[in-house]
Amino acid sequence: MSKNSSPIPVIVLKNISKKYSLHKKKSGGLKNFLYPKKNTFYALNNINLTINQGETVGIMGNNGSGKTTLLKIITHVTKPTQGTVITSGKLVSLIEINAGFHLDLSGRQNIYLNGLILGLRLSDIKKKIYQIIEFSGIKKSIDEPFFTYSEGMKLRLGFAIAINTDPDILVLDEGMAVGDKNFQKKLRAKFKTLIKQEKTIINVSHSADFIMQNCNRIIILKQGKIIKIGSKKLVSDYAQDRIKI
């Protein structure tokens, strides 16, 4: 998106809430057994957010603040209890590593499976498959069953697929905390390429350094609510505990 052009919204969240009912244990009585008391828990509470094409957005917050739930709402993995989610363009996410993988298929076969799930044509997958395999760094094991892979190998293959299938929007949960230093170096280089191509990237991370280096807008969550939206200085203040959440 050029400096002179108007922002193009690619993700719009309107009045998003996600509510869960927790059954409270209560001793004694058939009535209490049949009709247990429910407590309401809001994982997200009245979120309004617009993300534009070409933005790199970092989401931060303590454990339980609603970060992963927000990603699942954006990627349509989870439906909100109330509110509207609008996304535009091809969205690729890597939140739950085993989602979209078949344990009995080989790594190579899972690349084809994931590509088809993402809406790629078979010819497109064939063009990209060697690039994905090389990027993953697990070439020697690519024809072994997925269930034999370590968690690190699964993550590397998942990330290799996600960032090499030309997404318009890329959503990652702790995206750069994967693999060894060599793999992380490749990820950062690819990340910068996607930014230059004006792809929209959303990343949850506990790493203030990563957010500072790679994101131009920061969102801080607390107990399911957005308490701050800002730029890199916000991350610095948050990392140095000048923002108490």
Q: Where are the domains of the chain?
A: 9-239
Contacts for 96 with CB less than 8 Å, ≥ 6 apart: 77
Q: Given pLDDT bands bounded at 50, 70 and 90, which one contains residue 216?
A: confident
Return the pLDDT at 52.
Answer: 95
Half-sphere exposure of 77 (CA within 13 A, CB side): 16
Q: Is the pLDDT higher at 194 or at 80?
A: 80
Tell me: pLDDT of 242 over 70. Answer: no
Q: Given pLDDT bands bounded at 50, 70 and 90, which one contains residue 127?
A: very high
Q: Is 130 helix (H, G, I), strand (E, B) or coil?
A: helix
Tell me: pLDDT of 221 over 70. Answer: yes
Closest CA to 64 of 108, 20, 30, 29: 20
Tell me: pLDDT of 79 over 80. Answer: yes
Tens digit of each residue's pLDDT (9 = 90 or more) over 154-208: 988 988 888 888 889 999 887 556 667 788 788 888 888 888 899 999 988 777 7
Q: Is 48 helix (H, G, I), strand (E, B) or coil?
A: strand
Asked if 55 and 216 touch (Cβ cutoff 8 Å), the reply is yes
Q: Does domain 9-239 correspond to CATH entry 3.90.245.10? A: no
Contacts for 241 with CB less than 8 Å, ≥ 6 apart: none
**Residues facing 70 on adjacent strands:** none
